[in-house]
Amino acid sequence: MKTISLFIAAFFTLSVSNAQTADEIISKHVNAIGGKDNWKKVTSMVQTGNMSVQGAEIQMKRSIIHNKAARTDISLMGMTGYQIVTNTEGWSYMPFQGAATVEAMTADQVKDEQEGLDIQGVVIDYATKGHKPEYLGKEDVDGTECFKVKMTLKGGKTQTLFFDPATYYIIKAISTMSANGQEAEVATSFSNYQKHSSGIVLPMSTTVPMGPGFNADLTIESVEVNTTLDASLFKPSK
Protein backbone atom coordinates (compact mmCIF):
# COMPACT_ATOMS: atom_id res chain seq x y z
CA MET A 1 0.00 0.00 0.00
CA LYS A 2 2.84 2.38 0.88
CA THR A 3 4.50 1.63 -2.48
CA ILE A 4 1.28 2.45 -4.34
CA SER A 5 0.89 5.69 -2.39
CA LEU A 6 4.44 6.70 -3.24
CA PHE A 7 3.82 5.89 -6.91
CA ILE A 8 0.67 8.03 -6.97
CA ALA A 9 2.49 10.89 -5.22
CA ALA A 10 5.40 10.65 -7.65
CA PHE A 11 3.08 10.55 -10.65
CA PHE A 12 1.13 13.56 -9.42
CA THR A 13 4.33 15.51 -8.81
CA LEU A 14 5.57 14.64 -12.30
CA SER A 15 2.29 15.75 -13.86
CA VAL A 16 2.36 19.09 -12.04
CA SER A 17 6.02 19.57 -12.93
CA ASN A 18 5.34 18.89 -16.62
CA ALA A 19 2.39 21.30 -16.65
CA GLN A 20 4.47 24.03 -15.02
CA THR A 21 7.30 23.45 -17.49
CA ALA A 22 4.91 23.71 -20.43
CA ASP A 23 3.41 26.88 -18.96
CA GLU A 24 6.85 28.40 -18.51
CA ILE A 25 7.95 27.56 -22.05
CA ILE A 26 4.76 29.00 -23.53
CA SER A 27 5.02 32.13 -21.37
CA LYS A 28 8.56 32.76 -22.61
CA HIS A 29 7.44 32.14 -26.18
CA VAL A 30 4.59 34.65 -25.88
CA ASN A 31 7.02 37.26 -24.55
CA ALA A 32 9.44 36.49 -27.39
CA ILE A 33 6.79 37.10 -30.06
CA GLY A 34 5.77 40.48 -28.70
CA GLY A 35 3.71 39.76 -25.60
CA LYS A 36 0.06 38.97 -25.02
CA ASP A 37 -1.02 42.61 -24.81
CA ASN A 38 0.29 43.44 -28.29
CA TRP A 39 -1.27 40.33 -29.83
CA LYS A 40 -4.65 40.98 -28.22
CA LYS A 41 -4.72 44.39 -29.93
CA VAL A 42 -4.61 42.72 -33.35
CA THR A 43 -8.09 42.59 -34.87
CA SER A 44 -7.16 42.05 -38.51
CA MET A 45 -4.16 41.11 -40.61
CA VAL A 46 -3.21 41.02 -44.28
CA GLN A 47 -0.17 39.03 -45.37
CA THR A 48 1.14 38.93 -48.94
CA GLY A 49 3.84 36.61 -50.13
CA ASN A 50 5.28 34.23 -52.65
CA MET A 51 5.24 30.44 -52.51
CA SER A 52 7.70 28.32 -54.46
CA VAL A 53 6.68 24.74 -55.27
CA GLN A 54 8.90 22.69 -57.60
CA GLY A 55 9.97 25.78 -59.50
CA ALA A 56 6.47 27.21 -59.80
CA GLU A 57 5.93 30.65 -58.27
CA ILE A 58 2.58 31.23 -56.61
CA GLN A 59 1.45 34.64 -55.38
CA MET A 60 -0.61 34.54 -52.20
CA LYS A 61 -2.53 37.03 -50.10
CA ARG A 62 -4.28 36.17 -46.83
CA SER A 63 -6.75 38.57 -45.25
CA ILE A 64 -8.24 37.75 -41.86
CA ILE A 65 -10.56 39.30 -39.31
CA HIS A 66 -9.88 37.79 -35.90
CA ASN A 67 -12.27 34.92 -35.12
CA LYS A 68 -14.66 35.99 -37.89
CA ALA A 69 -13.44 35.41 -41.43
CA ALA A 70 -10.41 34.71 -43.59
CA ARG A 71 -9.74 34.87 -47.32
CA THR A 72 -6.74 33.47 -49.17
CA ASP A 73 -6.19 34.66 -52.75
CA ILE A 74 -3.91 32.51 -54.93
CA SER A 75 -2.48 33.51 -58.33
CA LEU A 76 -1.01 30.77 -60.51
CA MET A 77 -0.58 30.18 -64.25
CA GLY A 78 -2.25 33.49 -65.06
CA MET A 79 -5.34 32.58 -63.04
CA THR A 80 -6.51 33.74 -59.63
CA GLY A 81 -8.54 31.68 -57.22
CA TYR A 82 -9.52 32.01 -53.60
CA GLN A 83 -10.72 30.29 -50.46
CA ILE A 84 -13.05 32.00 -47.99
CA VAL A 85 -13.89 30.72 -44.51
CA THR A 86 -16.15 32.42 -41.98
CA ASN A 87 -17.35 31.31 -38.57
CA THR A 88 -20.41 29.74 -40.24
CA GLU A 89 -19.52 28.68 -43.82
CA GLY A 90 -16.89 28.59 -46.55
CA TRP A 91 -16.28 28.58 -50.31
CA SER A 92 -13.46 27.92 -52.74
CA TYR A 93 -12.80 28.86 -56.35
CA MET A 94 -9.73 27.20 -57.85
CA PRO A 95 -9.70 27.60 -61.66
CA PHE A 96 -6.15 26.23 -61.93
CA GLN A 97 -7.54 22.96 -60.54
CA GLY A 98 -10.25 22.88 -63.18
CA ALA A 99 -13.06 24.55 -61.21
CA ALA A 100 -15.38 26.64 -63.37
CA THR A 101 -17.56 27.94 -60.54
CA VAL A 102 -17.45 28.65 -56.83
CA GLU A 103 -17.82 25.55 -54.69
CA ALA A 104 -19.27 25.51 -51.18
CA MET A 105 -17.03 23.81 -48.65
CA THR A 106 -18.36 20.87 -46.67
CA ALA A 107 -19.13 21.26 -42.98
CA ASP A 108 -16.04 19.22 -42.08
CA GLN A 109 -13.82 21.35 -44.35
CA VAL A 110 -15.17 24.53 -42.78
CA LYS A 111 -14.59 23.17 -39.29
CA ASP A 112 -10.99 22.28 -40.12
CA GLU A 113 -10.25 25.71 -41.57
CA GLN A 114 -11.97 27.66 -38.79
CA GLU A 115 -9.04 27.00 -36.46
CA GLY A 116 -7.10 29.45 -38.62
CA LEU A 117 -9.48 32.30 -37.81
CA ASP A 118 -7.65 32.84 -34.52
CA ILE A 119 -4.97 35.40 -35.44
CA GLN A 120 -3.31 34.91 -32.06
CA GLY A 121 -2.77 31.19 -32.60
CA VAL A 122 -3.21 28.44 -30.04
CA VAL A 123 -0.68 29.69 -27.46
CA ILE A 124 -2.12 33.12 -26.56
CA ASP A 125 -4.64 32.65 -23.73
CA TYR A 126 -4.62 28.91 -24.41
CA ALA A 127 -6.26 28.04 -21.08
CA THR A 128 -9.14 30.46 -21.69
CA LYS A 129 -9.59 28.95 -25.16
CA GLY A 130 -9.76 25.45 -23.70
CA HIS A 131 -6.42 24.19 -25.03
CA LYS A 132 -4.20 22.04 -22.81
CA PRO A 133 -0.38 21.85 -23.04
CA GLU A 134 1.83 18.91 -22.11
CA TYR A 135 5.61 19.04 -21.91
CA LEU A 136 7.19 16.08 -23.74
CA GLY A 137 10.86 16.75 -23.06
CA LYS A 138 13.41 17.68 -25.72
CA GLU A 139 13.87 16.61 -29.32
CA ASP A 140 16.40 17.46 -32.00
CA VAL A 141 15.14 19.59 -34.89
CA ASP A 142 17.80 20.02 -37.56
CA GLY A 143 20.57 20.22 -34.98
CA THR A 144 18.68 22.27 -32.37
CA GLU A 145 17.65 20.53 -29.14
CA CYS A 146 14.13 21.93 -28.83
CA PHE A 147 11.54 21.95 -26.08
CA LYS A 148 8.64 19.79 -27.24
CA VAL A 149 5.11 20.68 -26.14
CA LYS A 150 1.92 18.92 -27.19
CA MET A 151 -1.16 21.15 -27.33
CA THR A 152 -4.50 19.38 -27.18
CA LEU A 153 -7.00 21.79 -28.67
CA LYS A 154 -10.50 22.31 -27.33
CA GLY A 155 -11.98 20.42 -30.27
CA GLY A 156 -9.77 17.39 -29.67
CA LYS A 157 -7.09 17.89 -32.31
CA THR A 158 -3.46 18.13 -31.33
CA GLN A 159 -0.46 20.21 -32.32
CA THR A 160 3.09 19.38 -31.33
CA LEU A 161 5.22 22.50 -31.03
CA PHE A 162 9.01 22.68 -30.99
CA PHE A 163 10.55 25.72 -29.26
CA ASP A 164 14.11 26.90 -29.87
CA PRO A 165 15.59 27.21 -26.34
CA ALA A 166 17.74 30.17 -27.39
CA THR A 167 14.90 32.33 -28.71
CA TYR A 168 11.72 30.54 -27.58
CA TYR A 169 10.41 30.88 -31.14
CA ILE A 170 8.45 27.94 -32.56
CA ILE A 171 10.63 26.50 -35.32
CA LYS A 172 8.48 23.48 -36.12
CA ALA A 173 4.88 22.41 -35.62
CA ILE A 174 3.26 19.06 -36.34
CA SER A 175 -0.51 19.09 -36.78
CA THR A 176 -3.15 16.69 -38.01
CA MET A 177 -5.08 17.64 -41.14
CA SER A 178 -7.93 15.98 -43.00
CA ALA A 179 -7.67 15.37 -46.75
CA ASN A 180 -9.95 13.24 -48.91
CA GLY A 181 -11.54 11.70 -45.86
CA GLN A 182 -8.22 10.72 -44.29
CA GLU A 183 -6.12 12.28 -41.58
CA ALA A 184 -2.43 12.95 -42.04
CA GLU A 185 0.29 14.63 -40.02
CA VAL A 186 1.81 17.77 -41.49
CA ALA A 187 5.11 19.17 -40.24
CA THR A 188 5.59 22.91 -40.81
CA SER A 189 8.89 24.72 -40.27
CA PHE A 190 9.14 28.42 -39.35
CA SER A 191 12.10 30.79 -39.62
CA ASN A 192 13.17 34.41 -40.22
CA TYR A 193 11.16 35.87 -37.34
CA GLN A 194 10.81 39.64 -37.63
CA LYS A 195 9.24 42.32 -35.45
CA HIS A 196 6.35 44.30 -36.92
CA SER A 197 5.76 47.96 -36.11
CA SER A 198 2.74 46.88 -34.03
CA GLY A 199 5.12 45.11 -31.66
CA ILE A 200 4.26 41.53 -32.62
CA VAL A 201 6.90 39.16 -34.00
CA LEU A 202 6.11 36.84 -36.94
CA PRO A 203 7.92 34.13 -38.92
CA MET A 204 8.42 35.46 -42.45
CA SER A 205 9.46 32.09 -43.91
CA THR A 206 7.47 28.85 -43.76
CA THR A 207 8.22 25.45 -45.24
CA VAL A 208 5.67 22.65 -45.66
CA PRO A 209 6.56 19.20 -47.08
CA MET A 210 4.33 18.44 -50.07
CA GLY A 211 5.60 14.98 -50.92
CA PRO A 212 8.72 12.85 -51.21
CA GLY A 213 11.64 15.08 -52.10
CA PHE A 214 9.95 18.45 -52.39
CA ASN A 215 8.56 21.25 -50.22
CA ALA A 216 6.42 24.34 -50.49
CA ASP A 217 8.39 27.38 -49.35
CA LEU A 218 6.39 30.49 -48.44
CA THR A 219 8.06 33.86 -48.02
CA ILE A 220 5.97 36.65 -46.50
CA GLU A 221 6.80 39.95 -48.20
CA SER A 222 4.50 42.32 -46.32
CA VAL A 223 2.25 42.36 -43.25
CA GLU A 224 -0.52 44.86 -42.49
CA VAL A 225 -2.07 44.90 -39.03
CA ASN A 226 -5.47 46.35 -38.07
CA THR A 227 -6.27 47.51 -41.58
CA THR A 228 -9.98 47.93 -42.39
CA LEU A 229 -11.36 44.95 -44.32
CA ASP A 230 -14.75 45.27 -46.01
CA ALA A 231 -17.27 42.53 -45.27
CA SER A 232 -17.80 42.00 -49.00
CA LEU A 233 -14.27 40.57 -49.23
CA PHE A 234 -15.49 37.49 -47.41
CA LYS A 235 -18.34 36.69 -49.77
CA PRO A 236 -17.95 34.65 -52.97
CA SER A 237 -17.80 36.90 -56.03
CA LYS A 238 -17.77 34.38 -58.89
Report the CATH number at residue 22.
2.50.20.10
Look up the pTM and report it. 0.85
Domain total of the chain: 1
d(CA 54, CA 217): 10
Sign for the pseudo-dihedral over CA of 176, 183, 114, 129: negative
- Whole domain around residue 76: which residue ranges? 2-234
d(CA 224, CA 16): 40
Question: What does each C-alpha distance from 228 to 49, 69, 98, 117, 205 come to in angstroms?
Answer: 19, 13, 33, 16, 25
Task: Write out the chain's pLDDT in tens, 238 residues.
Answer: 444 443 333 333 333 334 448 999 999 999 999 999 999 999 999 999 999 887 788 999 999 999 999 999 999 888 999 999 999 999 999 998 888 899 999 998 898 888 889 999 999 999 999 999 999 999 999 999 999 999 999 988 899 999 999 999 999 999 876 555 667 788 999 999 999 999 999 999 999 887 777 788 999 999 999 999 999 999 998 6
